[in-house]
Amino acid sequence: MKPFLSLVKRDLTLGLRKKSQIYQPLVFQLLVVTMFPLGLGSGAKTLALIAPAVIWILALLASLLTLDQIFKNDYDDGSVESYVLTSYPLSMAVMAKVLAHWLLTGLPLVLFAPVLGVLLHLPSSSYGVLMLSLLIGTPIFSFIGSIGSALTMSLKHGGLLLTVLVMPLLAPVLIFGAGAVVESALGNSASQHLLLLSGMLVLSFTLVPFASAAAIKINLE
Partner 1 sequence: MKKQRTNAIVTLYHKLGSPPSFYRISGYFLKWLLLISIALTCWGLYDGLVLAPADYQQGDSFRIIYVHVPAAWMSMFIYAVMGIAAIIAIIWRMKVAEAVMIASAPIGAWFTFLALVTGSLWGKPMWGTWWEWDARMTSELILLFLYIGIMATYGAFSEDARKAARMAALVAVVGLVNLPIIHFSVKWWSSIHQGTTVSLTGESHITWEMLRPLLYMAFATKFYYGYSMLKRARLYLLETESQKKWAHTVITENK
Partner 2 sequence: MPIIKATDVSCQRGQFTLFEPVSFTLAEGQSLLISGANGIGKTTLLESIAGLRSIQLGNIEYKSIDLLKSKDQWFDDSFFIGHKTGNKKELNCLENLRSFLQIQGIDVSEKQAEDALDKVGLAGYEYQFAGSLSAGQKKRLALARLTLIKHTVWILDEPFVNLDVAGCDWLLKLLNQHIDNKGILIITAHDNPSIRKKITHELVLEMQR
Q: List residues binding partner 2 (CB under 8 A).
A: 2-3, 6-7, 9-10, 13-14, 17-18, 73, 76-79, 81-88, 93, 217, 220-221
Residues in the chain: 221
DSSP 8-state symbol, 177: H
Answer with the entry of partner 2, partner 1, none that 82 interacts with (C-beta below 5 to 8 A by kind). partner 2
Separation CA 99–CA 48 (nearest Å): 32
| Residues of this chain that bind partner 1 (CB under 8 A) | 147, 151-152, 155, 158, 161, 164-165, 167-169, 171-172, 175-176, 179, 196, 200, 203, 207, 211, 214-215, 218-219, 221
113 neighbors 59 (Cβ within 8 angstroms): yes
Instruction: Centre a 10 Å sphere on the Cβ of residue 96 and count the other Cβ atoms it contains.
Output: 21
- Closest approach, Cβ 154 to partner 2, in A, equals 12
Alpha carbon separation from 122 to 1, 97, 177 (Å, rounded): 42, 33, 15
Which amino acid, residue 104?
L
Separation CA 19–CA 13 (nearest Å): 10
Alpha carbon separation from 77 to 87, 124, 150 (Å, rounded): 21, 46, 15
4 or 127: CB nearest partner 2: 4
Separation CA 165–CA 2 (nearest Å): 32
- Closest approach, Cβ 208 to partner 1, in A, equals 9
- Closest approach, Cβ 217 to partner 2, in A, equals 8
DSSP 8-state symbol, 126: G
1 or 35: CB nearest partner 2: 1
Separation CA 144–CA 21 (nearest Å): 18
- Closest approach, Cβ 48 to partner 1, in A, equals 18
Answer with the entry of partner 2, partner 1, none that 187 interacts with (C-beta below 5 to 8 A by kind). none
Answer with the entry of partner 1, partner 2, none that 56 interacts with (C-beta below 5 to 8 A by kind). none
Answer with the entry of partner 2, partner 1, none that 165 interacts with (C-beta below 5 to 8 A by kind). partner 1
Answer with the entry of partner 2, partner 1, none that 200 interacts with (C-beta below 5 to 8 A by kind). partner 1
- Closest approach, Cβ 14 to partner 2, in A, equals 5
- Closest approach, Cβ 187 to partner 1, in A, equals 15
84 or 167: CB nearest partner 1: 167
Cα–chain-centroid distance for residue 19? 17
